[in-house]
Amino acid sequence: ESFQRSSSRPNVGQSFTRSKTTGRDPEGDSPSHQQNRTQQQRSKKMGRVQSTPNFRGQTNSGGNELTLEETIQRWSHKKPDYKTSNSLQHLLVTLPQTFPPRNDMVEDHEYFAKWKKLDKECFTDMGGDELKSLLQRALRKAKFFLHPDKLPKDLTENQSLLFKTIWDVITQQELAIFD
């Protein structure tokens, strides 16, 4: 299942719609997805690559492969110095990038597949109370997924560390926005 905006300006109570997926992106055949793919292909031809982050093989400033903490830092903070936090919207949409197989520092687990993906467009063209309400709803779903009492008991040390760190990052962003 994935979440996506049900219309260009949904009612506050109907911000997400669920769609069953069969292992592919629900908007995989949409014109905007095809246009993005075409733009990426053009960018590759011109020497620019516009793709989502993949943490495999990346190295830190010392030339060593990234640690799990550095991987989370790159996900949760903005380039180039990774000191300024990304927005809560960005964190919620890009959360799956921290999961295997994109992040090969963490072993795969069936629980990762239960994450309900947020559509990139779900927070666009919104402001004020409508955005706040949508963010709170998405945040509740993320915190339910990441809550320590809801996590499987058979997680490895790296998996537990990943979930705890993501929980801390999202909670910190929540406090910064809603308190």
pLDDT given for residue 162 in this prediction: 95
Residue 129 tokens, joined: 């109370």
- How much of the chain, in percent, has pLDDT values that exceed 70? 64
What is the four-CA torsion angle of 3, 120, 59, 50, rounded to 10 degrees?
A: 140
- Report pTM: 0.65
User: Rounded to an integer, what distance in angstroms lies between the CA atom of residue 158 and that of residue 175?
Assistant: 26
- Given a cut of 50, whether residue 14 has pLDDT beyond it is no
For helices 128-146 and 157-178, the axis angle rounded to 10 degrees is 160
| The two three-digit tokens of residue 105, written as one number | 């520092």
pLDDT reading at 147 higher than 60: yes
Q: Which residue has the higher pLDDT, 27 or 148?
A: 148
Which pLDDT score, from 0 to 100, does residue 125 have?
81
Q: What is the mean pLDDT of residues 25-54?
A: 43
CA dihedral 165, 168, 171, 177 (to 10 degrees): -90
Instruction: Read off the pLDDT of each residue in 35-49 and give the average, rounded to a whole number.
Output: 40
Whole-number pLDDT of residue 56 = 53
> In the beta sheet, which residues pair with residue 3?
18, 118
Of the candidate ranges 38-42, 94-98, 143-147, the one whose mean pLDDT is the lowest:
38-42
